[in-house]
Chains A and B, each alone.
Chain A
Amino acid sequence: MMSRFLRAFPLPVIAFLVCFPGCAEQKNSVSPEERLAAGWQNFRGGEFSLALRDFKGVGAVTAIDSPVHLAALYGEATTWYLRRPDEDPARSATLYRQVIQLAPTNSLAAWSWLALARIKAQPVEGNAPELEPLVLAYQEVIDRFPFHPAGEEALLLQQAARLEDPGTARAREVLEVLDAFLETHPESPWRSAAYGLVAHCCRMLGLEERRLEAAIQAWKMAEVDPTNPFQDLAVTYWQIATIAEFELGDFETAREYYRRLIDEYPAEQRVFVAIQELARMDELEARLRTEASTP
């Protein structure tokens, strides 16, 4: 009797254990959209395993052609790509390609193409990745989505990668590409970043006037995030002023931007240096005037 009971005892326990999680699951059920959002929340919190569980869970209960399913696949791919440790770039690439295959013209396909390129941008043991495959991968995004934010971002990342090469020939090529981008993308929110790269090319090529012009354009086009206390233009003012002062001898422009820096960012570390530079320019001009007036 007793032994029968003992043999039968595990059955209800097992039944309970099997049923209970199911009940709990049912009780706590959330919509796929909410679970997708929870997945990204977990991703941002560094809980990559939980994020994967959420993304896979959404994928399992949604129709393959639904936007949520696509978003879940994209989330899963991004997690496999960026999780540390236990990242799996190959698996990630397969999932991104699934997104692309399922909806080749969807916005997520554009971001997936960009992600495929970014996988190639990852350093190998801290060293820079091979340039040519990376440039080609960016080109895929640019060719397929030339006016999508992902395509525009790819172009800038591609040109920045190419600028790591020290040659002036490369800088000239990059400058041409950027000029074309600025001409064909008059409304792009990436124009400030593009002008920043133009200024860098001009620095490499010694085209100081164009460099100054590009730096000023980058400042004028810069988007402002009013909620970010760290986003200040002190560095931008400083760079414009120093290009004008030391590369062109354009002291009027230099003075204008040093003064902007002093007025708008009085607590900035550069203020003292800016005050000194204003005095140095005055001194140089005074000396030159004296020399000119001395026969």
Chain B
Amino acid sequence: MSKSIGSFLKKHSALIVVGATFLWSGLSILSSRRAETPSKDGVVLRIGHWQLEAGVRSGFNAMAEAYHKLHPNVTIIQDAVPEGTYGQWMSTQLMGGTAPDMLEAGKVPYNVLLGYYNRYFLPMTSVVNQPNPYNKGGSMEDVPWRKTYKDSMRSGYIEELQEYMQIPLSQFGVRVFYNKDLLKRLTGREIPPRDYREFLEVCRKIRSQASENGKPYVPVAGSGYHMWMWDGYMADPLTYGALRHLDFNRDASVGNDELYVGFKTGRINFGFPAFEAKYRMIRQLTEQFQSGFTGLGRDEAVFLFAQQQAVFISTGTWDVGSLHEQARGVFEVGIMEFPFPTPDDPEFGKFAEGPVYDKTFTGFAFVVTRTCKHPEVAIDFLRFVGSQKGNEELNRMIGWIPAIKDTQVAPMLEPFNPQLQGIFGCMPITLGGETIIKWTQLSSLYQVNQISYPQLTAEFLPFYLEHGEDEWAELYRNRRRGMVRDEQLIAGMRDMAGASPADASSTRWIKYRQLTTNRLINRDLNAAFLRNQLEAGGAGHVAVPYEFSPEVIAAVKARLDRGRPVELVAPGKERD
């Protein structure tokens, strides 16, 4: 008998294993479903997101628990889905009508997301215009919810729809993280470098030493993913001075069309000292990265940092918890500002006219889906985690920065305080498909020191000038092609304005007129003006945007002399 059982088991072992696994998974699903099943009058809400970083899920669970204590009939369950598949997962759930009640909206192209906002998510405008009841008793008790946000809930507002659609929960920023122990061991420093020269010196010391296995230390863990941070916070702002030469429409930024006009008219070239400075700094920075960094991804750089082979890494607040988690018990993580040159820096000081403008942004934003059976409860939960206390608590547990005003930030996150007055980059060199490809190829070679700056620019410039013309024209054609999307929005808004009750109608018509003015009436005026000036007479006709002309100086002088205004252009006398 036992022999026959033994032989049966032996013969069908694979089948038995499969069957047992099936049974186990079935029972697990049943028991978890049972645990999630609400009591007769209970409510279960699901919330979907892609934040698998350390602390997020436990933070949400704790907030769900706290909410459950306040509202015992409500249970909140998370669906945490990996970032790589989140877009597909969200789309499938939405289309199948099985989406969670609340979703972190994203990971699909923006035009697709716009369609989703319309089709699957509830507008929040009326909700966010009311005070948040969970702020009762606090300093913002009577303040509309959206105004309790550090950024007035900008990231919740979808301009194309003229509606608040999502509720952001955290603020984000980018800084340099460093291994405190390794920094001290290799350089003897307790504090991180505060400026660029100090940083380079520290990097030199780090590079000169090797680990026990003889492998030299790397100052900065870099990758293709990390490059934009070093460029955006360190090198690109050095080009700020180009603003005064190229901001032809004088809107205080340099567009890629303006830069092209600058090159085309000979107003500027790659020999412009600020442009050269930017690329000198990129070379100096990338020399501190591990070799072959351009071919590596984010995880490989993080691995190098976690393995204590590199001292510095740049990343955002979203990685604070994960990096601390990986370093726990092994080394201490510090956070520092990007080591930007000081004004007295011998090489870059004259380009560093101020600190780098750094406006942090809010994200980790949630929508309520139209299929939600209890939208009022979902909104109430978002109010709970978006209140002063709730938001502070959630972010404290995650290790992120609260999105709500007058909340406590963890001391380790203090370096993330935004710098709201400063310089910014003015070298948007690519115009369209071909120039983007060419520039990316060449600048990658430059970053890994395979070509020099003169080689980079000598190869790119003729290509840019030749192909730029077509790409500029294509840029305008694409703008025009995009007009139909604006017309769709405007037609939809016109219907809403006409069909709204009297009190809402006025605001809707204002929105309608603003959309029409910005997107149809003024759509091409500046671009046409710039193109017409260029075609009319080349460089001589393109005004120098930030120079005082002799006439203006004379007018100022006359005002100072006489203390009264002076007419620069006589009435009726027009420019030909």
Residue in A closest to B477 when the chains form the complex, CB atoms: A126
Residue in B closest to A231 when the chains form the complex, CB atoms: B514
Q: Which residues of A contact B555 (CB under 8 A)?
A: 248-250
Best-surrounded residue of B491, B551, B557, B561 (most CB of chain A within 10 A): B491
Residue in B closest to A42 when the chains form the complex, CB atoms: B119
Contact check, B507 vs A285: say whether CB atoms are below 8 A apart: no
Contact check, A246 vs B480: say whether CB atoms are below 8 A apart: no
Q: How far is the CB of A185 from chain B (nearest CB, A)?
A: 14
Residues 248-295 (chain A) with a chain B CB within 8 angstroms: 248-251, 266-267, 269-273, 275-276, 284-285, 288-289, 292
Q: What is the interface residue range for chain B against chain A?
A: 35 or more
Interface assignment of B354: CB less than 8 Å from any CB of chain A: yes
Q: Which residues of A contact B516 (CB under 8 A)?
A: 153, 193
Contact check, A111 vs B477: say whether CB atoms are below 8 A apart: no
Which of A40, A209, A292 is within 8 Å of B492, CB to CB? A40
Contact check, B251 vs A235: say whether CB atoms are below 8 A apart: yes
Please judge, given known A-B contacts A122-B483, A196-B522, A208-B568, whether A248 and B552 are in contact too, CB under 8 Å: yes
Interface assignment of B470: CB less than 8 Å from any CB of chain A: no
Complex formed: what's the CA distance from A160 to B487 in Å?
16
Q: How far is the CB of A11 from chain B (nearest CB, A)?
A: 34
Q: Is the interface of B mostly helix, strand, loop or mixed?
A: helix
Interface assignment of B567: CB less than 8 Å from any CB of chain A: yes
Contact check, A249 vs B568: say whether CB atoms are below 8 A apart: yes
Contact check, B152 vs A229: say whether CB atoms are below 8 A apart: yes
Interface assignment of A131: CB less than 8 Å from any CB of chain B: no
Residues 132-164 (chain A) with a chain B CB within 8 angstroms: 149, 153, 156-157, 160, 163-164
Interface assignment of B548: CB less than 8 Å from any CB of chain A: yes
Which one of B84-92, B153-161, B182-190, B212-220 is at the A interface?
Answer: B153-161
Please judge, given known A-B contacts A44-B118, A122-B483, whether A166 and B536 are in contact too, CB under 8 Å: yes
Contact check, A247 vs B118: say whether CB atoms are below 8 A apart: no
Q: Which residues of B contact A128 (CB under 8 A)?
A: 480
Residue in A closest to B153 when the chains form the complex, CB atoms: A229
Interface assignment of B460: CB less than 8 Å from any CB of chain A: no
Q: How far is the CB of B470 from chain A (nearest CB, A)?
A: 12
Q: How far is the CB of B105 from chain A (nearest CB, A)?
A: 15
Residue in A closest to B527 when the chains form the complex, CB atoms: A164
Please judge, given known A-B contacts A153-B516, A246-B548, A269-B357, whether A206 and B574 are in contact too, CB under 8 Å: yes
Which of A40, A157, A189, A231 is within 8 Å of B499, CB to CB? A40
Q: Which residues of B contact A168 (CB under 8 A)?
A: 574-576
Contact check, A242 vs B250: say whether CB atoms are below 8 A apart: yes
Contact with B along A168-196 (1 / 0, CB 8 A): 10001000000000000000011011001
Contact check, B492 vs A251: say whether CB atoms are below 8 A apart: no
Which of A197, A230, A239, A266 is within 8 Å of B250, CB to CB? A239
Residues 530-576 (chain B) with a chain A CB within 8 angstroms: 532-533, 535-536, 545-549, 551-557, 559-561, 565-569, 574-576
Contact check, B569 vs A209: say whether CB atoms are below 8 A apart: yes
Contact check, A196 vs B517: say whether CB atoms are below 8 A apart: yes
Complex formed: what's the CA distance from A155 to B517 in Å?
12
Contact check, B353 vs A276: say whether CB atoms are below 8 A apart: yes
Contact check, A250 vs B565: say whether CB atoms are below 8 A apart: yes
Q: Which residues of A contact B483 (CB under 8 A)?
A: 121-123
Complex formed: what's the CA distance from A123 to B487 in Å?
12
Q: Is the interface of A mostly helix, strand, loop or mixed?
A: helix
Complex formed: what's the CA distance from A166 to B569 in Å?
21
Q: Which residues of A contact B115 (CB under 8 A)?
A: 45-46
Q: How far is the CB of A262 from chain B (nearest CB, A)?
A: 9
Residues 190-238 (chain A) with a chain B CB within 8 angstroms: 190, 192-193, 196-197, 200, 203-209, 223-225, 227-231, 235, 238
Interface assignment of B488: CB less than 8 Å from any CB of chain A: yes
Contact check, A273 vs B153: say whether CB atoms are below 8 A apart: no
Complex formed: what's the CA distance from A78 to B491 in Å?
8
Contact check, B548 vs A205: say whether CB atoms are below 8 A apart: no
Which of B492, B498, B521, B553 is within 8 Å of A193, CB to CB? B521
Residue in A closest to B357 when the chains form the complex, CB atoms: A269
Interface assignment of B243: CB less than 8 Å from any CB of chain A: yes
Best-surrounded residue of A107, A207, A238, A267 (most CB of chain B within 10 A): A267
Residues 7-56 (chain A) with a chain B CB within 8 angstroms: 37, 40, 43-47
Contact check, A292 vs B561: say whether CB atoms are below 8 A apart: yes
Q: How far is the CB of A71 from chain B (nearest CB, A)?
A: 9
Contact check, A225 vs B507: say whether CB atoms are below 8 A apart: yes
Q: Which residues of B contact A224 (CB under 8 A)?
A: 510
Q: How far is the CB of B152 from chain A (nearest CB, A)?
A: 4
Interface assignment of A103: CB less than 8 Å from any CB of chain B: no
Complex formed: what's the CA distance from A266 to B511 in Å?
25
Interface assignment of A118: CB less than 8 Å from any CB of chain B: yes
* B interface with A by C-beta (< 8 Å): 115, 118-119, 125, 129, 146, 151-154, 157, 159, 161-162, 164, 243, 250-253, 353-354, 357, 359, 418, 420-424, 474, 476-478, 480-481, 483-484, 487-488, 491-492, 494-496, 498-499, 507, 509-511, 513-514, 516-517, 520-525, 528-529, 532-533, 535-536, 545-549, 551-557, 559-561, 565-569, 574-576
List 6 contacting pairs A-B, 8 Å CB cutoff, sorted by A.
A43-B491, A122-B483, A126-B474, A160-B525, A197-B521, A246-B250
Top 7 closest pairs, chain A to chain B, by CB: A126-B477, A206-B575, A249-B555, A166-B532, A123-B480, A45-B118, A44-B492
